[in-house]
Amino acid sequence: MIQKIPAFQTDDGFTHASVEEAQKHQLQIELSKCTGLSEPNSAAAFIMANVDRFIDILTTTATSKPKARKINGGTKVRKPKPTTAPATAPV
């Protein structure tokens, strides 16, 4: 029987049961694009050149909406909730 299950899919089409597994696999995909990975300076330079992509991967949670993220074209501006002072009883 075929059942619908929630899963996480990486750019190469693989599905993973947990977001941690998907993040690990996606990081492997991104780092495989870096040539000369044995050099720490080149790896650091590659990460800094693609910092938005790495932050997007690492901040994704199980309840995230990937299509709403800025890196994926989301444009809705979030407004902070107004802060209100606690009500005090008159003396």
> Which residues lie closer than 8 Å to 75 by C-beta, 6 or more apart?
none
Residues 58-84: tens digit of each pLDDT: 887 777 776 667 666 667 777 888 877
Check if the beta carbon of residue 36 is closer than 8 Å to that of residue 30: no
List the one residue out of 25, 6, 5, 24 whose CA is nearest residue 14: 25
Say what the pLDDT of residue 52 is.
81
Determine the residue type at 80: P
The helix or strand, by DSSP H or E, that contains position 16, with its residue range, turns out to be strand 15-16
Say what the pLDDT of residue 4 is.
65
Residues 27-54: tens digit of each pLDDT: 888 877 776 666 667 777 788 888 888 8
Residue spans per domain, the chain: 8-65
